[in-house]
Structure 1
Amino acid sequence: MSHALDLIPARPAPPLVTPAMTPARALGYGVLGLWLLLAIGLAYMMVTGWDTDKFVKYGPRYLEGLATTLALVASSIALGAVLSVPIAYARMSKNIVLNTIAYAYVYVFRGTPMLAQIYLIYYGLGSFRAEIEAVGLWWFFREAWYCAILAMTMNTAAYQAEILRGAIQSVPRGQTEGAKSLGLPPSVTFWKIILPQALIVALRPYGNEIILMIKGSAVVAVVTVLDLMGQTRYAFSRTFDYQTYLWAAIFYLAIVELLRNTWAALEARLTRHLKR
């Protein structure tokens, strides 16, 4: 029997198939090559044109701007998260008035650039100084810092409300029905059952929103807030050296990369029970 099996020819190994070079793949490789050449060129210019005196002189200002940027983003994200809860609730409400107001709010702040919103709050409301002083709020609207936080908070609240609404609606209706069968009140059902599950779904979109806010916060420099980009503009106005903006890009890239890895670790930890 063994001799008969020896006479059966072995099946030839399948030939190696290399992926075809499609136009899209070739374009992707070309773009990647251009980015690589640009990175090498920038690294070469930084090494050959490095000015230690400028870095020592303006480095502390960059650190101050970085602290301002982080404070702005952290404050606006936290305040926006609080504001997004009632907005998301109104968006899901069957009350036509609440739903319409919330829809209009989300539509306006998601459909217009943050730069225009900051201009309207800082310069637009500033033109009504007499009326604002009459209600005792001029101390708030005369400060660019407060106006920047207000604009960023209202902007991110619109995005966070939609993230939260989508996450809540993704929770199966059986969770609510099960809570009703146990006699749990709606408030306990929402805060203890629905919301925790919704936040797990919303983790990744929330991380993307924070990253977008970090990059979008650069626009507050136009209303004289000396954040990271504001300090960069100051350094460039004194030196006219392109490297000042390159330093800012490195700072922003480092912040985003650190946040991305931190958020990925947090997401992996909070969703580890779903992977078993």
Structure 2
Amino acid sequence: MNWNWDVIVEYFPRLIDGVWVTLELIFLSGLFGLMLAVPLALMRASQSRWLRLLPFGYIFFFRGTPLLVQIFLIYYGASQFDAVRESVLWPILREPYWCAIIAFTLNTAAYSAELIRGAIQAIPKGELEAADAFGMSRWLKIRRIVLPRAFGIVLPAYGNELILMLKSSSLASTITLLDITGAARTIIARTYTPLEIFATAGVLYLTIAAIMIGCFRLLEMRLNRHQHYKMPTELSAVDPRLSD
């Protein structure tokens, strides 16, 4: 078997264009999803049973149905309603780019909300009691104690969620969006070189994933730097066990 390097070199710029589309999908849907996930997580962690009911239904639906079905429901399903086609939202909902972002946002918000809820419930009660002892209001405690601690706890799992979203972004090609996979399929239809093109696309996905993992490692070290604090040398000199 001869490996066709010429086709890779010729069409590599097309794949790079798909990389930018993929990065846009991940960044925008990750940002919007996180903005939606935080209030959902706070509602899920609430003591009120009725306040937990609405986010539970939302999370149950988007975690229990395939992402591909959600994309099709938004892209193909919305156009079935005359009210949607005649509304101000139609210029957005008729575009595959924005439909993909909406679907990815709603999907990742459901998963991220559950991750953040678990992180909120994992915060030591002593820290919350200390905030109450200082007379912090509920919203001040959430802003100064709950959310910063929750983000520090949830960061590794949230990084995994974004990696999964990176791999799931290939589904955007099913609605004619030219991300990495969409660009690869278009090139293969012209060149009939699936092995070379899909292998190159796989390398691009691996490169993006490696960069994302490295960035999240650095961010985790910054947010959780208190966990890596070392005892002063004076104390370790008094008792070597303090340096362990």
TM-score of the alignment, normalized to the shorter chain, above 0.5: yes
Code of the residue aligned with 1:114 in structure 2: it is: L
Identity over the aligned pairs, expressed in percent?
Answer: 39
Structure-2 residue corresponding to 1:67: 20
Distance 2:90 2:48 in 1: 35
Cα separation, 2, equivalents of 1:65 and 1:239: 17
Give 1:94 deviation, angstroms: 3.3
Distance of 1:172 and 1:86 partners within structure 2: 21
Give every structure 1 segment of 4 or more consecutive aligned residues whose post-TM-superposition deviation is greater than 6 Å.
none
Q: Counterpart of 1:125?
A: 78
Query: SS of 2:135's equivalent?
Result: coil
Q: Specify every segment of 5 or more residues in structure 1 that has no aligned partner in the other structure, as ranges.
A: 1-44
Q: Match of 2:150?
A: 198
**What CA deviation, in whole Å up to 9, does each residue of 1:11-64 have, x standing for no partner?**
xxxxxxxxxxxxxxxxxxxxxxxxxxxxxxxxxx6xx41332x22331111011
Query: Quick one: which of 131, 145, 162 aligns to 1:210?
Result: 162
Aligned to 2:225: 272
Deviation, 1:207, is: 0.6
What is the alpha-carbon root mean square deviation over aligned residues?
Answer: 1.4
- Aligned residues of 2:8 and 2:196 also touching (Cα < 8 A): no
1:102-158, CA deviations, whole angstroms, 9 ceiling, x for partnerless residues? 101111111111111101110111211x21133321111110011000000000000
Cα distance, 1:273 vs. partner? 2.0
8 Å CA contact retained: 2:108, 2:165: yes
- For residue 47 of structure 2, give the secondary structure of its aligned residue in structure 1: coil
Q: Structure 1 residue aligned with 2:136, among 181, 184, 193? A: 184
Aligned partner of 1:147 in structure 2 is 99
Q: In terms of mean alpha carbon deviation, does 68-77 or 179-188 score higher?
A: 179-188
1:160 Cα deviation after fit: 0.7
Q: Does 1:158 align with 2:110?
A: yes
Give the residue type in structure 1 aligned to 2:155: L
Is contact 2:184–2:198 with CA below 8 Å preserved after alignment? yes
TM-score, reference length from structure 1: 0.79
Q: Which residue of 1 aligns with 2:202?
A: 249
Which of the pair has the greater relative contact order for Cα pairs under 8 Å at 6+ separation?
2
Question: 2:24 is matched by which residue type in structure 1?
Answer: A
